[in-house]
Structure 1
Amino acid sequence: MLTMGTAQAQGKISGVVQDSATHEPLAFASVFLANTTLGVTTTEQGRFEFAKVPAGTYDVVGSYVGYSLSKKSVTMTAAPQQVTLELASTGNQLGEVVVKPEPNKPDELRQFTTLFLGGTSFSEQCYISNPDQVRIFLDEETGELTARAKEFLQIDNEALGYRLKYYGLEFGYDKADGTMSYYGEPVFEEMTPRDERQQQQWAANRATAYRGSFMHFLRSVYNDRLEAEGFLAQQIRMAPNPHFRRIENKRRALQRRPAGNLTRAEKDSLARWQSVTPTLATLYPAPRPIDSLRRVSLNGEHTFLRFTGELQVAYFGEAPDARYTRRMLPLGATRKPYPAKRQVSRLRLEDGEAEIQANGSLMNPLEVVNGEYWGFERIGEFLPVDYVLPAASAKP
């Protein structure tokens, strides 16, 4: 069983939130540790404190109405950490004309909501409660969709029992290659259950969201427990497709002809050639040893995800969501006999390695690109980094 480790060292973060120009304290400002459930409100003197923060590096974020966000990165040590957050006022100057943005087009808002929340069973139980806070922009020529939140976007996840406030949201979707990215400073709030039954359902759903997740995988790599936790990582070799150029030339030649002049066989060929790619992927069946996936610094204080090329990562502890319609296991069998329950994902590093924290987060999330099943899971399965899998929910 893998949990985050409740025995981790804990430290204290305290500080003050103040106006960046006057240095006056800001009373009742919101302060939170991004991607966690840890949030507080400042006192009348603008002071705040987090008494027990698990080991790791966190963005301490300050928010106040009429001010820009302020954040500082803090790495927990045995010594208490002191933080001063200076927020800049965004108030209108005298005589300034305020231009209200046009409301979002309904179709664009629906597209953004579908992409951002995802299409899983849990995503269907999420809704954005303040859609007027997001500004959506669609490039008609490229099909690129971008979105930003004025202050924060609030998502109520009725499946997991979290209210997510996503501060500083930056969202982008490129229709041409199907890539999507989003980042910001989210904070989780526990929702109040109607009764004990709903509380138990939320706990069960959170465990389901965690098992097989990218967070679960990173914690398993960090603790050298991949196989024990039900993961199998295999190397994918990418090589040029020797037939791509010839087929691409034929495809373009047929596309230049009027559709009404194509024979049935030619139309069938066009349909098949759509799936031909410039590169071919080959799966090496042997599991990757931990030393080919992970590097630990000489002093033991830093752990890095490190590998070459791409990985296929299979998780055998849970079946995929029923709404995931893509063929699982695109590169062939990985175990004999092959388990019926499986989730298969792809993973690529942008720059050779990425530092992992014990809580299953990355120091820089932009250093990793994941796809297949992990790309399918989005806000509906989004958990805070301080989530700990209950012992009763762990799979053998």
Structure 2
Amino acid sequence: MFVISSKNIFGNSLALAQRAGCWIFAGMLLLLAFPQAQAQSTLSGVVLDSVTRQPLPFGTVFLANTTLGVTTDDAGRFAFARVPAGTYEVVASYLGYALRRQVITLTNEPQQLTFRLPPSANTLGEVVVRPHPNKPEDYQKFASTFLGSTTFSQQCRIRNPEAVRVEYDAEKNELTATCADFLTVENQALGYRIRYYGLDFRLNFAEGWMSFYGSPVFEPLKARSGRQQQRWAANRSRAYKGSLPHFLRSVYDNGVAEAGFRVQRLRRVPNPARARADSLLALMRAQAFSIRALDPARFDDSLAHLIRVPRQLEYLFSAPLATTDFSNRPPVAPEVLLQFPDLLLVYYDQELADPAYVAFTARNATPDQTLPAGLDKQVSVLHLQQPQVPLQANGQPANPLALYTEGYWGFEKMGEFLPVDYLPPAQPSRTR
């Protein structure tokens, strides 16, 4: 399952107790564990109608977040050969039936699965009220948020917009989007067609957060020329470098610095001045008419000053962290534990930020906000939602919900979305 959870943060800059004037888009990328082990296994099974127990031929079965997908035969059977050992979400889909998922761990031994898909409501003959057409402004807001604002995202297109139902709830001030079957996204920057099954998208304007999840499967596009294939390969490498999966893999390999990352400890604490500012704001707004009449300019300046008081103060520890400062490798366990107090501030020094990042931040800043320096750098913040997060051999977290990111990693969206079986080009060996 792939999940992104994002929140708009109007907060402090990444410097000692300074207030930021930028809008930081935070996000969390959740992937299944897909260890780069040499061990391989076979996976097979059958897809059946849950009511009649009859086989469902020509259905789709795939390993979520990968390029691995097959079609069932006349008897509803499917088979995957030479699947690397690891943990997967296996998804079965058939037109007119509800989606079904199973999470499995493959070892060296062959494994078999049986999927029993229940017919959807219209297959059972029930009355189904067709959704009203999407309002253009609602659909556009969904599409732009879902695809993202990066340079690569600008080369992404939703190919079946009629498949998604977008609704706005005025009471919750929330936009939702769902898809009965799958949403197809074509990424011409990376050369993938992504079928996103079971989409559940939410954008809450009142609280400033966004989340979406589902089960995607990747299909490599067919290049029209060798030059296009080379461009896709270069873009995939660029999307991977500096990304969250790249960082986590380097943590597992104990090679964070060698991979081009710098890490510092970041602490956030409540600003004691914020409570007094909120009290004064409430008083000023309650008596706005009478107070502003005495001195409008002074009133407006005071109001703007109080609104700008940050809710949190940030303290950045200047000493750089070694990989062992925020991870632990147990002597026996095959995994590495990600663990640290406070937050991690992560810099990637091997390339500059996407120019679209600066434009995006400036576009979403309020008129009284000043953009901080360093927006051309790739700087991200990493949170842990639990004390320890085990990492698999390729850096994927055992519990993806335990990670939360903001900053540059939160800005990257569908344009940089790679399958978990993507392997970056091998680096040339160093000569001594």
Superposition TM-score, scaled by structure 1 size: 0.89
> What corresponds to 2:4 in structure 1?
none
What residue ranges of structure 2 are gaps of 5+ in the alignment? 1-33, 363-369
* Distance (whole Å) between structure 2 residues aligned to residue 394 and residue 379 of structure 1: 32
> What corresponds to 1:324 in structure 2?
357
Residue by residue, what CA displacement relative to the aligned partner does 1:234-276 show, whole Å, maximum 9, x if unpaired?
Answer: 2111222122122222333333414964633442343344332
Q: 2:68 aligns with which of 28, 38, 57?
A: 38
Q: 2:217 aligns with which of 165, 174, 187?
A: 187
* Distance (whole Å) between structure 2 residues aligned to residue 94 and residue 188 of structure 1: 31
CA contact (8 A) 1:236 1:284 kept: yes
> What corresponds to 1:204 in structure 2?
234
Task: State the one-letter code of the partner of 1:305.
Answer: L
**Highest relative contact order (Cα 8 Å, sep 6+), 1 or 2?**
2
* Distance (whole Å) between structure 2 residues aligned to residue 266 and residue 358 of structure 1: 59
1:62-73 to structure 2, matched below 5 A, reads 62-73=92-103
Q: 1:169 aligns with which of 180, 191, 199?
A: 199
Task: State the one-letter code of the partner of 1:233.
Answer: V
1:19-38 to structure 2, matched below 5 A, reads 19-38=49-68
* Distance (whole Å) between structure 1 residues aligned to residue 429 and residue 306 of structure 2: 45
1:268 equivalenced with 2:268 (yes/no): no
Instruction: Say if 1:204 and 1:393 are closer, same or farther in 2 by CA, change over 3 A.
Output: farther
> What corresponds to 2:337 in structure 1?
304
> What corresponds to 1:244 in structure 2?
274
Q: 1:293 aligns with which of 301, 326, 334?
A: 326
DSSP-derived class of the 1:155 partner:
strand
1:299-378 to structure 2, matched below 5 A, reads 299-325=332-358, 326=361, 342-378=377-413
Residue by residue, what CA displacement relative to the aligned partner does 1:122-170 show, whole Å, maximum 9, x if unpaired?
Answer: 1111111111211222221342222211111111111111111110111
* Distance (whole Å) between structure 1 residues aligned to residue 429 and residue 67 of structure 2: 22
* Distance (whole Å) between structure 1 residues aligned to residue 126 and residue 54 of structure 2: 25
1:379 equivalenced with 2:414 (yes/no): yes
Task: State the one-letter code of the partner of 1:211.
Answer: K
CA contact (8 A) 1:235 1:312 kept: yes
* Distance (whole Å) between structure 2 residues aligned to residue 94 and residue 118 of structure 1: 38
1:57-96 to structure 2, matched below 5 A, reads 57-92=87-122, 96=126
1:117 equivalenced with 2:140 (yes/no): no
What residue ranges of structure 1 are gaps of 5+ in the alignment? none
* Distance (whole Å) between structure 1 residues aligned to residue 123 and residue 84 of structure 2: 42
Instruction: Say if 1:95 and 1:28 are closer, same or farther in 2 by CA, change over 3 A.
Output: closer
DSSP-derived class of the 1:286 partner:
coil
* Distance (whole Å) between structure 2 residues aligned to residue 384 and residue 354 of structure 1: 21
Task: State the one-letter code of the partner of 1:369.
Answer: Y
Of the structure 1 ranges 72-81 and 303-312, higher mean CA displacement relative to structure 2 is found in 303-312
Instruction: Say if 1:71 and 1:139 are closer, same or farther in 2 by CA, change over 3 A.
Output: same
> What corresponds to 2:130 in structure 1?
100
Q: 1:226 aligns with which of 249, 256, 269?
A: 256
Task: State the one-letter code of the partner of 1:350.
Answer: Q
Q: Structure 1 residue 341: deviation in Å?
A: 7.0
Task: State the one-letter code of the partner of 1:65.
Answer: L
CA contact (8 A) 2:354 2:376 kept: no
* Distance (whole Å) between structure 2 residues aligned to residue 94 and residue 138 of structure 1: 29
Instruction: Say if 1:102 and 1:381 are closer, same or farther in 2 by CA, change over 3 A.
Output: same
Q: Structure 1 residue 306: deviation in Å?
A: 2.1
- Number of residues of Structure 1 aligned to a counterpart in Structure 2: 385
CA contact (8 A) 2:165 2:178 kept: yes
* Distance (whole Å) between structure 2 residues aligned to residue 77 and residue 184 of structure 1: 25
Instruction: Say if 1:230 and 1:90 are closer, same or farther in 2 by CA, change over 3 A.
Output: same
Of the structure 1 ranges 253-262 and 101-110, higher mean CA displacement relative to structure 2 is found in 253-262
* Distance (whole Å) between structure 1 residues aligned to residue 184 and residue 428 of structure 2: 28
Q: Structure 1 residue 13: deviation in Å?
A: 1.5
> What corresponds to 2:317 in structure 1?
284
> What corresponds to 2:6 in structure 1?
none
Of the structure 1 ranges 207-216 and 80-89, higher mean CA displacement relative to structure 2 is found in 80-89
* Distance (whole Å) between structure 2 residues aligned to residue 289 and residue 233 of structure 1: 8
Task: State the one-letter code of the partner of 1:135.
Answer: R
Instruction: Say if 1:104 and 1:363 are closer, same or farther in 2 by CA, change over 3 A.
Output: farther
Q: Structure 1 residue 297: deviation in Å?
A: 4.6
* Distance (whole Å) between structure 2 residues aligned to residue 393 and residue 175 of structure 1: 47
* CA RMSD in angstroms, aligned pairs only: 2.7
CA contact (8 A) 1:56 1:359 kept: no
> What corresponds to 2:18 in structure 1?
none
DSSP-derived class of the 1:324 partner:
helix
CA contact (8 A) 1:19 1:88 kept: yes
Residue by residue, what CA displacement relative to the aligned partner does 1:69-119 show, whole Å, maximum 9, x if unpaired?
Answer: 111111121112222222111153676322111111111101111111110
* Distance (whole Å) between structure 2 residues aligned to residue 66 and residue 95 of structure 1: 11
DSSP-derived class of the 2:231 partner:
helix
CA contact (8 A) 1:318 1:341 kept: no
